[in-house]
Amino acid sequence: MKNIKRIGAVLLTALALAMVAITPANVALDFTALTAAVDATTIVAALTAIAAIKMLPGVAKWGFNKVIGWFR
């Protein structure tokens, strides 16, 4: 039974992809507006923000312990 369901799902997916592929609207898809909107500075800023978010809790904990250590 599982095999029949899997084969049916694969066939339906293949049929859907074939129907999408043969439509004339897909011939003229143009992604230049999307790729032009993303430049190197945006990517660098995003990566820097992600790195800061990942590092900040550890740095804050280290700094807190360092300051508390001065008063012990």
What are the tens digits of pLDDT across the range 32-65?
777 777 888 888 999 999 999 999 999 999 999 9
Which of the four pLDDT bands, split at 50, 70 and 90, describes residue 28? low
Domain that holds residue 42: 2-70
For the chain, what is the domain count?
Answer: 1
Tokens 């280290």 — which residue? 62
Quote the mean pLDDT of the chain.
Answer: 83
Return the half-sphere exposure (C-beta side, CA atoms, 13 A cut-off) of residue 12. 6
Residue 9 has what pLDDT?
82
Question: How far, CA to CA in Å, does 27 sit from each of 15, 39, 51, 62, 67?
Answer: 18, 26, 39, 56, 63
Per-residue pLDDT at 67 exceeds 70:
yes
